[in-house]
Structure 1
Amino acid sequence: MSVRATDSRWNRGDANGTDRKVLRARWRTASLAAGWRFPNDWGLPEVDEVCATVVADGEVLAALADLGRARARSGADLDETLTDLAALHAVVTNPAERGGLVAADPDATPAQLLRAMALAWADATLGDLRDSAATETLTGLATEEYLQVRIGELYRHGRRNDVHPADRYVLLVVTLDLSNVAGWPRLMAMILVGDALRSVFDGGETLAVLGPSVAVVLAERDAALPGRVREARALIARQLGVDPQLHTARRVDVRLERLPCGEAAARSLVRAVGRA
């Protein structure tokens, strides 16, 4: 199997897809024999896509890239993913009628196939890392690092267009009193705050969590802002009031911080707010 699935023995697919089923079964057996750790996790829709492409003698690189991304998202490591690819290559290049167990040899896999699979796997993996770096897992709000990036973008845009971010944006700061709250209720409080802020500020504002009890919104200073601030304060209090364990956390401090003149000072403000 090179860039195209050229072995004529795999070009006969009948209307019932029998050859695809045979290919899939042999591939799975070879992959398990080569060390695939969790048999129940091997079968993915992308596996069937690859089999159909091979049987139809189609361009297999795109199908392998899809499978590489799917393997990464399912938790398979790169070595396991490439060994699985080697198992497919061994099966395709060793027809069923020869009999016996087919051995996967990653060193025999064509470089183009390895590259397509490895790049797709890496792209999906790095994409997950980028997402996790930009978003705090628990609340779904942006991290402080991402907010700092947005702050930098605003100030660079302001310098280029001769406008000042302080004239157009404000930092809405929400601080909870969680001194008497511990364990899961403490985490739930911030989840509820994030949910309330997303509900009120749903127009593309940057929402971030800056600490275990502090969330912020980078919002435009427009005529609707005062009403949104009141709505956010009321909704947060209402959300927290559902849980008796969060009674003390209902004392919510919601305030507006005007952005300072300089970018460095704005970055310092974000750090200070998160450590208050």
Structure 2
Amino acid sequence: MLPVHAREQWRSASAASVWLRPDDWYHPAVDAVLEALLAGADPVPAAGRLGEVRSECGVGIGESIDDLACLYRSLRLEGPSLDVVRALCDGWAAAQDAVPVNAQCVDPETGLPTVEYLRVRLAETYGVAARRGERAGDRHALLVVDVAVGMRDPWARIARSAVVGQALVQSYGDGQPMASLGEGVFLLLVERDAELGTRATALRDRLTSHARRLGVETLVRQPPRVWVESLPPTHARLVELLSHLAR
């Protein structure tokens, strides 16, 4: 019989740190993962089912991975292993594939705004600068993050996207114009100020430590590449730059 206290330890750890809506945390799928770990059985099949359930309930992949990590910490276990993370991501992605595609402003893999939304914000930045009689690059710049390691497995891309998306939000907060360009490249529209370089360095360190904490450091370039890119003088040149950065 599943020890109730073990489930509640997991729930409490998750609710206190990563879970956004405590009331929707429980599903019978969590018991299956917990039972497998407590019995010393293979948790991979149960992790795949948990990923499906989380996706179907609208939980982002980043939140799902963090929740799984909370389980292992609550049981004082090392992990989760890459095989378990992979199963969770595969299940999550399979459920996403079954959902009709709708226009939205948030990318479910990263939890970040979509690149289309970022393009709108960039166009607005150029428009505001023009009305002020300035260049867009006078007050703003692009912060480019490249964590690519040449992998092709969909689950690995999903896990990497989630880890980087979380680190970006933790570093810059909700509402910051940023998005994934694909293939491990992420882009932020940032203000030019005295803290720009310091924050870029802190972001690189956060990316490294966050990936290590979740056990997916092999999916992220070590160290991540983070650099400041000046905004081109015209919006047309910006479009060319984005195409180049997206490879």
Alignment TM class, shorter chain as reference: 0.5 to 0.7
Inter-partner Cα distance in structure 2 for 1:152 and 1:246: 35
Inter-partner Cα distance in structure 2 for 1:140 and 1:244: 20
Q: Which residue of 2 aligns with 1:260?
A: 232
Matched, 1:160 2:160: no
Inter-partner Cα distance in structure 2 for 1:246 and 1:196: 13
Inter-partner Cα distance in structure 2 for 1:234 and 1:249: 12
Q: Which residue of 2 aligns with 1:220?
A: 191
Q: Which residue of 2 aligns with 1:270?
A: 242
Give the Å deviation of 1:205.
2.3
Inter-partner Cα distance in structure 2 for 1:241 and 1:169: 31
Scaled by the length of structure 2, what TM-score is found? Answer: 0.54
Q: 2:180 aligns with which of 205, 209, 225?
A: 209
Q: Is the 8 A contact 2:148 2:185 kept in 1?
A: no
Q: Residue by residue, what CA displacement relative to the aligned partner does 1:60-83 show, whole Å, maximum 9, x if unpaired?
A: xxxxxxxxxxxxxx9xxxxxxxxx
Inter-partner Cα distance in structure 1 for 2:174 and 2:191: 10
Q: Is the 8 A contact 1:176 1:250 kept in 2?
A: yes
Give the Å deviation of 1:224.
1.5
* Structure 1 vs Structure 2 CA RMSD: 2.2
Matched, 1:199 2:161: no
Contiguous gaps of at least 5 residues in structure 1:
1-73, 75-127
The equivalences for 1:1-276 within 5 A come to: 129-130=102-103, 132=104, 134-180=105-151, 182-202=153-173, 204-247=175-218, 249-251=220-222, 252-275=224-247
Letter in 2 for 1:273: L
Q: Is the 8 A contact 1:198 1:207 kept in 2?
A: no
Q: Which residue of 2 aligns with 1:86?
A: none
Q: Residue by residue, what CA displacement relative to the aligned partner does 1:137-169 show, whole Å, maximum 9, x if unpaired?
A: 211112221111111111111111112111111
Q: Residue by residue, what CA displacement relative to the aligned partner does 1:67-115 show, whole Å, maximum 9, x if unpaired?
A: xxxxxxx9xxxxxxxxxxxxxxxxxxxxxxxxxxxxxxxxxxxxxxxxx
Q: Residue by residue, what CA displacement relative to the aligned partner does 1:199-237 show, whole Å, maximum 9, x if unpaired?
A: 111274201111131111100011121121111100001
Inter-partner Cα distance in structure 2 for 1:203 and 1:248: 25
Q: How many aligned residue pairs are there?
A: 147
Contiguous gaps of at least 5 residues in structure 2:
1-56, 58-100
Q: Is the 8 A contact 1:240 1:249 kept in 2?
A: yes
- Which entry has the higher C-alpha Rg, 1 or 2? 1
Greater RCO (CA < 8 Å, at least 6 residues apart): 2
SS of residue matched to 1:139: coil
Q: Is the 8 A contact 2:181 2:246 kept in 1?
A: yes
Give the Å deviation of 1:177.
2.5
Q: Aligned residues: percent identity?
A: 31
Letter in 1 for 2:235: E
Distance 1:203 1:249, change over 3 A: closer
Q: Is the 8 A contact 2:176 2:189 kept in 1?
A: yes
